[in-house]
Amino acid sequence: MLIKAWPGYSGMLIAEALMSFTAPLLLGMTILHVLGRRDILESMVFGYWIGLGTISVTLFILNQAFDVKFSYQTGMMLSTIVATISTIYLAFKRKSFTLEIGSKPKFKFTTIVLLAAIFILLINMAIRELIYPILDPDAQTYTVAIAKKIYDKGELPTTISMTSHVENFYAFPMMFQLQQVWVTMLQPNFDFFLVRLLYMIMGASTIIVFYKLANKIFKKRTLTLFATLLILSDDSWIMYNYVDMNHKPIAALYSLIATYYLIEYMEGQKPKTALLIGLFAGMAAFVNQLGVIFAISIIIIAWAIQLKNKAKPIHTVALILGALTVSAPFYLRNLVLLKNPFYPHAYGIFGGLNYDIVTGRWSSEPILGSIYNINPFMNFSEAVYNLLGTAVLDGNILLFSLFLVGLVCLRNKPYGYKVLAFITTTYITLLVLASFTGSGVARTHTGHWAYVSHVYPLMAIVGVGAETESRRKKCMALCSVSAVVAIALLVNLTSPPVYSVASRPIFYIPLIIQVSFLAFWLTHLLRGVKMDITKVTTTIMLVLLLLPSFYFVLNSKYRVFEIKDGQPVFSTLFPSPDYVFKNSLKDNYYIIKWINEESPKNAKILTSYPMHLYLDRDVVPLDTYGLVRLYERGSSEEELIQALKQIGITHVLYVKNLTYVKTFDSHIQ
């Protein structure tokens, strides 16, 4: 058995695990209390992530600036200091916390049904997240694999490339990886269970944040619960948040919290709220370089609000200082060491150094391919590709920024509907251009569409949910929603299957969700008809939504619960973790088993096999660009082998005739 679903823990290990999860919570609650937040639910949920983010930034600075290792001693000392100071502070301030639940809940039939559905889906996903192994290729190659590499090395390595072309410890902000390292730092080994537990907490936190944000917008509990259920029923959202172990949902979580405080800032300008906007926007930028787009967007919007209301300069200072305090360490380090804060992107603007995995050296020679070499004077089609392409500016963050702009403008009537129409037109235009240029935005449902399918339609829903007194405004809102849903339906209908194992039924749920969007909000716009068409259509829509959603969410979830030819791949609802691991990875399972059991302990393997998370050997992914460059220089076979030896490669893992045979490696003598 290669993995364990429920690892055994001694009493000491349990206490240390609790310390790892409790210290960020206490720190975050203290930070929010100092900044004037008193709601206990907000302090715990929002506070946990600002606390964990603060600890991650601290770890980054300690290691990169002072060469402090990520060791048990470091984790214990930091957690003890944080927990002690925070506990003392909170003990003195405990009576100042309140629980803001709004009006007294009225448990109508609709409310009970929505709550029950949300509860069932949450429990199901929580159990699955804790039981099943990490299966996503990106997680096994990057998201979790890098965190494990950091844990094993005790530092952020600077001479190891985890994927082709780039040195990831400079290319990607490390907040999510450092968060994983933190929760396992006090354990004797990198603990996959604690990492999955962290991700489960992230998913639950996102739901709570989304609920609070939606409630602040709708101000109606039923609509808020319904919107929450739609998000939970969205296949793509669940895929990213509960199965893929991707870092993007972490950035989205910080973005949602920043948006929550932005809306609150619009209702009453306070410098402490501006500081919170900056802090969470900065954390989104520390999770992913794409978060910089979001951070800039939200800062510009908040600054515009400050100018409109003639706020004091301290508001602007708090906003910008909050964002820079969190995000500057990563980008400043890259600027100082590589002369390019956004390495490996924007090389055409900043220049700087690039990493060559074959020689293991940094050089000023540009990486092959214009996709990394951004030039503001490129031709139009190339500019569109680079703006929307996966390698530079991911479409989902760009569209999320558009969503944010539209959301804020909708709060400022009467111009909101004009802005909504503009954003809708912009979105459709970008999607079409992306399709023409071959960008990844419209590539697959679970790629970039995973964000658009729920975030962008939400923006349109907010617009329709606003007051629509005039016929002209109703028509504009109706057209906006219809256009968005039409595009959503088109993309879902024409999207290719997800990877090579997905089946067409995976796309049915998003279709039903988007039809439900349209049905619900069309009836909302048609209020005033003698028959209560809103209730009738809503009831029908809920039935259409819930029945298939439950079937697919509980039974056919991506790789774990897959349906092929109308039949489930697995015969039981919750098969054993090892069975899922073996049947999901297929031949890859035997590759992992062979390497871990048969190859030398000191082997350093060059491989084109991407999913190396569960490999217990030092692995360097095959850098095709570097090898091609050696051949272009006229390198002989001996020179190629010598180049591999220079970076310590002892074995090469390769595939023969697309099937894996008993001898998986070629030993470099």
**pLDDT-based confidence at residue 482 (cuts at 50, 70, 90):** low
Residue 208, pLDDT above cutoff 60: yes
- Residue boundaries of the structural domains of the chain: 16-281, 393-568, 586-667
Single-letter amino acid, residue 631: Y
Query: Strand locations in 608-664, DSSP E?
Result: 618-621, 651-653
**pLDDT-based confidence at residue 72 (cuts at 50, 70, 90):** very high
CA–CA separation, 236 and 488 (whole Å)? 13
CA–CA separation, 615 and 610 (whole Å)? 11
Residue 281, pLDDT above cutoff 80: yes
Residue 111, pLDDT above cutoff 70: yes
47 CB neighbour count, 10 Å cutoff: 24
Which pLDDT tens digit goes with each residue over 152-177? 989 997 655 555 446 778 888 999 99
**pLDDT-based confidence at residue 333 (cuts at 50, 70, 90):** very high
Q: What pLDDT is recorded for position 154?
A: 94
Q: What average pLDDT does the segment 214-227 reach?
A: 74
CA distances for 572 relative to 243, 505, 555, 569, 584, angstroms: 18, 19, 9, 9, 15
CA–CA separation, 518 and 512 (whole Å)? 10
Q: Is 426 within 8 Å of 432 (Cβ atoms)?
A: no
What one-character DSSP code corresponds to residue 497? P
Q: What pLDDT is recorded for position 168?
A: 77
List of residues 6+ apart from 660 with CB closer than 8 A: 587, 590, 591
**Lowest-confidence range among 83-87, 222-226, 593-597, 598-602?**
222-226
Say which residue the tokens 């502070």 belong to.
89
**Lowest-confidence range among 98-102, 136-140, 182-186, 530-534?**
530-534
Which pLDDT tens digit goes with each residue over 289-330? 877 877 887 787 788 788 878 889 999 999 999 999 999 999
Q: Closest by alpha carbon to 440, among 397, 376, 477?
A: 397
State whether residue 6 is helix, strand or coil: coil
State whether residue 120 is helix, strand or coil: helix
CA–CA separation, 108 and 223 (whole Å)? 13
Alpha helices in 495-608 (DSSP H): 508-525, 533-555, 577-585, 587-598
**pLDDT-based confidence at residue 518 (cuts at 50, 70, 90):** low
Q: Is 251 within 8 Å of 259 (Cβ atoms)?
A: no
Instruction: Name which residue leads in pLDDT, 24 or 631.
Output: 24
What SS3 string covers 66-119? HCCCCCHHHHHHHHHHHHHHHHHHHHHHHHHCECCCCCCCCCCHHHHHHHHHHH
List of residues 6+ apart from 166 with CB closer than 8 A: 343, 344, 354, 355, 367, 372
Q: What pLDDT is recorded for position 252?
A: 77
Q: What pLDDT is recorded for position 439?
A: 35
190 CB neighbour count, 10 Å cutoff: 19
Q: What average pLDDT does the segment 9-28 reach?
A: 90
Q: Closest by alpha carbon to 288, among 330, 318, 319, 240?
A: 330
51 CB neighbour count, 10 Å cutoff: 23
Residue 657, pLDDT above cutoff 70: no
CA–CA separation, 239 and 501 (whole Å)? 14
